[in-house]
């Protein structure tokens, strides 16, 4: 039997080709849909697992042992650079004075008779009170306590007044 001209006997008919293309499109969309659902569920699962293990930042202690009282001479000012604090010993007792300028956070220097901010020229008295310059207030003072082992303990998280001296 002869085939009419223009008929392809080796490949699928036009209806079959359209049906295969439609199935391919349907399969593609189904795959994309299932992939999107899997990605959403996977992201939710990862978020849930991370929730069980929170990122916790353990900060160093704000309490600093600075040594025994005898270590500090009378009428002296000692700078502890890593904690940015000055320890001042006068006849009234000890003071822990912040070395951070109240203006813009620069580290102040002790000149022998006063604290001076090298950045903007603020000047502070020996007890940390503002004398001149752009600083809005005096330097912060921290609480000093006696530790159980006889050392002095500065609590950098507890601010006090300039009139508060620790008797040792």
- Give me the mean pLDDT over the 22-42 stretch: 87
pLDDT at 8 over 60: no
CA angle (103 as vertex; 98, 104 as ends), nearest 5 = 90
pLDDT at 69: 75
Kindly report, residue by residue over 101-132, the tens digit of the pLDDT.
Answer: 878 878 888 888 888 888 888 888 888 888 88
Phi, psi of 34 (to 5 degrees): -65, -35
Q: How far apart are CA 27 and CA 14, in angstroms?
A: 20
Query: What whole-number distance in Å separates Cα of residue 121 and Cα of residue 135?
Result: 9
Give residue 126's pLDDT. Answer: 84
Q: In whole angstroms, give the CA distance from residue 77 to residue 2.
A: 115
> What proportion of the chain, given as a percentage, has pLDDT over 70?
85
Q: Domain 63-160 belongs to what architecture?
A: 3-layer Sandwich (2.102)
Would you state the structure tokens that stand for residue 165, as one six-digit string? 């001296």
| Neighbouring C-beta atoms of residue 45, cutoff 10 Å | 10
Look at residue 20 and tell me whether its pLDDT is greater than 70: no
Rg, Å, the chain Cα set: 38
In a 10 Å sphere around its CB, with 0-12 CB exposed, 13-18 middle and 19+ buried, how is residue 119 labelled? Answer: middle
pLDDT-based confidence at residue 22 (cuts at 50, 70, 90): low
Question: pTM of the full predicted structure?
Answer: 0.61
Q: What's the confidence (pLDDT) of residue 4? A: 60
Pairing relationship of beta strands 123-124 and 115-116 according to DSSP bridges: antiparallel
- Predicted local distance difference test score (pLDDT) of residue 114: 84
Task: Please tell me the distance from the alpha carbon of residue 163 to that of residue 166, in angstroms, as a whole number.
Answer: 10
pLDDT of 19 above 70: no
37 falls in which pLDDT band (50, 70, 90)? very high
């Amino acid at each position: 039997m002869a085939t009419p001209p223009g008929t392809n006997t080796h490949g699928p008919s036009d209806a079959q080709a359209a049906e295969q293309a439609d199935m391919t499109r349907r399969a593609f969309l189904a795959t994309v849909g299932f992939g999107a659902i899997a990605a959403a569920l996977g992201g939710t699962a990862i978020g849930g697992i991370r929730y069980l293990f929170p990122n916790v930042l353990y900060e160093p202690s704000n309490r600093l042992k600075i040594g025994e009282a005898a270590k500090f001479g009378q009428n002296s000012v000692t700078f502890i650079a890593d904690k940015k604090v000055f320890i001042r010993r006068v006849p009234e007792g000890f003071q822990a004075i912040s070395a951070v300028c109240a203006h813009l956070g620069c580290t102040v220097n002790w000149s022998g008779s006063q604290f001076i901010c090298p950045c903007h020229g603020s000047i502070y008295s020996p007890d940390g009170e503002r004398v001149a310059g752009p600083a809005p207030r005096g330097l912060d003072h921290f609480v000093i306590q006696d530790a159980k082992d006889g050392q002095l303990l500065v609590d950098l998280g507890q601010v006090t007044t300039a009139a508060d001296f620790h008797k040792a």
